[in-house]
Structure 1
């Protein structure tokens, strides 16, 4: 991976990485230091990065781990501070999250084609409204309206699903 590839494939996550550092460290200066340290480490191991399939997940996990290490170094006993939330998900949580993602994906598939396309471009591919408008030959206002309608419909479908689950639960445990 050369410098141009590194810049294109890694530095595009700069904002997310900095926000991750900021949320864990709660200190602007430390967050900037953590970001710079991670960039140096990534540059040094750039050859290994080419094998990473989910680059965003890898980078965010790397940043979080680096931040936790920095917090440990600040503690006299080398432990994670008590106010640091433990975030290792249990298998039950992972299964629930996977079910939720699958359910929402199926609900998105039920939306009208234009709304489905726009919500995927905006929320999954993280494209800007102007970019979506240009690709789909729409105005930015049309993209915004379709996105708003898609999100409203998704909220309604999720609420309906939750109500149905609640009814089933109540019937089962009466």
Structure 2
């Protein structure tokens, strides 16, 4: 048994020395990084070492090595494509957000809006809210009451107040999308 392990060990070392550089070159043809190619080949040889008893069978070693390396290269490239697509999508969303913000700022001209204009626009938006939502929003943002006090005063749950405030924020944000500075002014409290 010990002699067999020594033969397998010697045989593996011979295989490693004979095939490592060829397998690395093969992997490098498909991968963009020498480090990736080397890591993949090293992983394949590590797996071969862990399953070295396979060397006692009549296997086509070259086919086994090439197939294992090819499959690992495919897996790595697929993973990289997925990651790159995700990064690209995030960048596109970020760029779209920047374009919206830029357009909003370009449309907004502070000198054209007097204090009365700002009050009128905000009043119109608040008046467009559903009745209960408007009442809760006014108590919170205009009267400066805390949400727990509003809940107690109106005899409703704190969760209802929170939900109504979220609805108000969403609707106001949509209505004032072209007036970003007004949003900042309104929600700065």
TM-score after normalising by structure 1: 0.40
**Larger relative contact order (Cα-Cα within 8 Å, sequence gap ≥ 6):** 2
TM-score after normalising by structure 2: 0.37
Higher helix share: 2
